[in-house]
A and B are shown apart, each in its own frame.
Chain A
Amino acid sequence: MVKFLFPTLMLHIHADLTNYRLMTLITQSSGHRLMIAMINVHLTLKMAQWLDEQHLNPYMAQTPYLPHFVLLTCWLLPLMIISSQHHMATEPINRQRTYIMLLTSLQFFLILAFSATELIMFYLMFEATLLPTLMIITRWGNQAERLNAGMYFLFYTLASSLPLLVALLLLQNTTGTLSLLTLQYSNPLNLSTYADKLWWAGCLIAFLVKMPLYGAHLWLPKAHVEAPVAGSMILAAVLLKLGGYGMMRMILLVLEPLSKELSYPFIVFALWGVVMTGLICLRQTDLKSLIAYSSVSHMGLVVGGILVQTPWGFAGALILMIAHGLTSSALFCLANTNYERIHSRNILLARGLQMVLPLMTTWWFIASLANLALPPLPNLMGELMILTSLINWSPWTLALTGAGVLITASYSLYMFLMTQRGPLPTHLIALDPSHSREHLLMALHLLPLLLLIFKPHLIWGWVS
């Protein structure tokens, strides 16, 4: 743990002491972060040998599926810095430093959240990530609506997670411990009353709002649309996964006996959300909003996969979360490259870009195909496993998930065709050519995605 935490903390000092030039700052900071990520990759590969066995590994005192989230965090944070270079270029140096420090503390809190072995520590860090994210959205966003978006973000999350705190404290009173390592050995809870059902809901709803579940998702598109590119990336790629990670942890450890019946309404909402948000995507003109709603739709599948509580469901959810983390982050970066050239998020204003930025079209193509889960990408593997476990749970879910898959494919293609194909509108003159920075960014997003399918063993956690 200290191997990542210490270098991450040092990034604060680095941002403060480094040379008075943006390029130096950004290159060094992201390079440093990538090195942290590399230590992480090394450890994860090393841990692969322990993956088959369900016991704790000696590196992080954790169950097998955790390093993925830490790795995802460490991988995406340098990419966030690279992607916001254009956004930061006009700012005074002190604000650039503050911005990088903000991202550093976000990385620090996220690593601590994913590697916490106490539930209360996890809760603290879960909440602690709110603050840097809020600042990224409201301080560094562009439009005036960002203030509303920040309010929505903070209040949705807090209103659902304060009951979680009380629920955790109650759990501590009952079992005497909140340690993730020992909690599984405590006596199974005797949950039968209405109060216990409320407690169950309290434990889960915070994560469902964070995911977000359809019905409690309104904060997400707002936050995504208003946040700068780094904010959108971290929200879609890591913060939503915090919800999924928390759900897996809570369900496996303590919620087991009640979840069988009580999760019905949530599964229904999640699957209904897959279809509904997909339909919303189909009529979307705002590029970032489209990607945000597509996140909600994918997360609906993840919620379904987790809540049916089979090993396949969990593995599928895990794979889909990792794959979606890379894909949605890549899509937000691509949307941002458009935004930096056109200065609008509107799809109708930036059409036919293949003519001017042909290499970017390749990235758009791969990212769109990943979003619609084309074989052989890991997105497909995740979706298939979730679909299979859902069908096993009830064959009727096929109607919703099948429609969902179809709609996902349609809007991903709609997004790709609208932005890239067709004639170039006449108002698009004097566009910047694509920078190698942007190509590096996209390669660092999509290469891991392509490579992961060669060793899916790394990300599927339980099934072996």
Chain B
Amino acid sequence: MSPYILAILLFSLGLGTTITFSSTHWLLAWVGLEINTLAMLPLMAQNHHPRAVEAATKYFLIQASGAAVLLFAGVINAWLTGQWDIHQAAHPLPIAIITLALSLKLGLAPLHSWLPEVFQGLNLTTNLILATWQKLAPLALMLQIQPPHSSLLIFLGLMSTLGGGWGGLNQTQLRKILAYSSTAQLGWMILVVQFSPSLTTLAILVYVVTTSATFLTLKLNKATNINMLAISWAKAPALMALTPLVLLSLAGLPPMTGFMPKWLILQELSKQGLPATATITALTALLSLYYYLRLTYAMTLTMFPNNITSTPPWRLPSAQLTLPLAILALAAISLLPLTPAAMALVAL
């Protein structure tokens, strides 16, 4: 792809999200989401592989229908209440529809089945954008609307942590596993969005850091399934010793950074008088933990005690910059002691 076109696409990707961030009008928010989607599609289909084109088509259909439903609900809202303001959307019907449309766009269970399929067709860089930047715009809208049905959001959250955990159990493809992991993580954020939006912000921040570290590691090793991960320790031994910690941070095991949002979300839920929900959510995290742990096993914990006799994989020097990966991995592992600072950062 020509660098000029790539630059235009990336700028539009940023522009769409920024428009959605800064809009107070439903129509403009929709415009931002559409620009975002349309800029993403060529990036997805840039290497003309049938699988990538298929993924781009699926992504287009899902995002377009999500955006259409969103626009539809915005119009109904204008019809019923007479104004287009995002903050003042008070009627329960359009807000419920908008919540569902946004959860389709985000890939929350039970509207998540497109996500693993799309992830599987793309390369790891595009996946990284899809798992982090593309989540921001819909999540920003989710933060702004006043949720009418607390039970709807809790249902979506629980289904996502459960579905995200369950779906990843039998996968051997890393991209699918990370897609399910994304669903599960977003479930945690959605659970708490109505009680403490700033906590959701903190959670997405931590998720972006941990998942970026994971994707960059996989990209460095060019690993897309568990078997390739299992032989990549020879390429970067030190990195492969750290990566289990990053993965378990994604799983939310103390003392890593990933435990911070989980802890605060559980605290908020129990403060809101939902201890049963908190317990169930915490236990569904064990489902996700199982597949992270399997990756950990394959990567580091089953290494040969001594030098192996089989031929190691071909080692080409990678052109990828390692500094971002180093910073992200360190942040993903060791920021838990900074919990008070992080809480101050998002003004909890």
Contact = CB atoms under 8 A, between A and B. Distances in A.
Interface of A: 90-92, 94, 98, 109, 124-125, 127-128, 130-131, 135, 138-139, 147, 150-151, 154-155, 158-159, 162-163, 165-166, 169-170, 172-173, 195, 199, 202
B297 A127 contact: no
23 contacts: A94-B237, A124-B254, A124-B259, A124-B336, A125-B255, A127-B253, A127-B254, A130-B253, A131-B245, A138-B297, A139-B303, A147-B297, A155-B286, A155-B289, A155-B290, A159-B283, A162-B282, A162-B283, A162-B286, A163-B279, A163-B282, A166-B278, A169-B266
Contacts of A163: 279, 282-283
A65 to B, nearest CB: 25
Given A139-B301, A158-B289, A98 B241 contact: yes
A162 B270 contact: no
A150 B294 CA distance: 11
Nearest to A170: B270
A127 B251 CA distance: 13
A169 B271 CA distance: 8
B270 A169 contact: yes
A64 B266 CA distance: 33
B281 to A, nearest CB: 9
B275 interface: yes
B279 A135 contact: no
B266 A128 contact: no
Contacts, number: 79
A135 B305 CA distance: 14
Contact of A127 (B255, B275, B305): B255
Contacts of A169: 266-267, 270-271, 278
Given A138-B297, A165-B263, A173-B270, A131 B283 contact: no
Which of B254, B286, B300, B302: most chain A Cβ within 10 A?
B254
Interface of B: 237, 241, 245, 248, 253-255, 259, 263, 266-267, 270-271, 275, 278-279, 282-283, 285-286, 289-290, 293, 297, 300-303, 305-306, 336
B248 to A, nearest CB: 7
Given A90-B306, A169-B267, A162 B285 contact: yes
Contacts of A202: 279
Given A138-B301, A139-B300, A166 B279 contact: yes
Nearest to B264: A169
A155 B251 CA distance: 13
A165 B283 CA distance: 11
B23 to A, nearest CB: 36
A170 B267 CA distance: 8
Nearest to A91: B305
Given A162-B283, A165-B263, 12 more contacts: A124-B259, A131-B245, A131-B248, A131-B253, A138-B302, A147-B302, A150-B293, A162-B286, A165-B282, A166-B278, A166-B282, A199-B275
B65 to A, nearest CB: 37
B301 A135 contact: yes
A92 to B, nearest CB: 8
B187 to A, nearest CB: 16
A139 B299 CA distance: 11
Contacts of B300: 139
A139 B245 CA distance: 14
A159 B241 CA distance: 26
Q: Which 5 A-B pairs have the closest CB atoms?
A: A162-B282, A128-B255, A138-B301, A127-B254, A169-B270
Nearest to A125: B255
A109 B253 CA distance: 14
Contacts of B259: 124, 127
Contacts of A151: 290, 293
Interface centre among A91, A109, A162 (most CB of B within 10 A): A162
Contacts of A131: 245, 248, 253, 255
A240 to B, nearest CB: 20
Contacts of B270: 166, 169-170, 173
A63 B241 CA distance: 39
Contacts of A170: 270, 275
Nearest to A151: B293
A135 B300 CA distance: 9
Contacts of B283: 159, 162-163
A94, A109, A139, A155: most-surrounded residue (chain B CB, <10 A): A139
Nearest to B297: A147
Contacts of A199: 275
Contacts of A195: 275
Contacts of A91: 305-306
Contacts of B286: 155, 158-159, 162
A155 B253 CA distance: 12
B316 to A, nearest CB: 24
Nearest to A124: B254
| Most chain A CB neighbours (cut-off 10 Å) among B253, B301, B303 | B301
Contacts of B253: 127, 130-131, 158
Nearest to A147: B297
Contact of A147 (B254, B263, B279, B301): B301
A459 B110 CA distance: 56
A124 B266 CA distance: 14
A225 B260 CA distance: 34
A279 B102 CA distance: 59
A158 B285 CA distance: 10
A362 B316 CA distance: 58
A402 B237 CA distance: 55
Nearest to B302: A147
A131 B247 CA distance: 12
A90 B271 contact: no
A405 to B, nearest CB: 38
Contacts of A92: 306
Nearest to B254: A127
Contacts of A139: 300-301, 303
Nearest to A167: B275
A154 B288 CA distance: 13
A199 B253 CA distance: 22
Contacts of B293: 150-151, 154
Contacts of A94: 237
A306 B248 CA distance: 34
Contacts of B305: 90-91
Q: Point out which of B241, B248, B270, B300 has the most chain A C-beta atoms below 10 A from its C-beta.
A: B270
Nearest to A162: B282
A108 to B, nearest CB: 10
A92 B237 CA distance: 13
A147 B267 CA distance: 33
B271 A173 contact: yes
A127 B283 CA distance: 15
A162 B279 contact: yes
Given A90-B306, A159-B283, A165-B263, A109 B301 contact: no
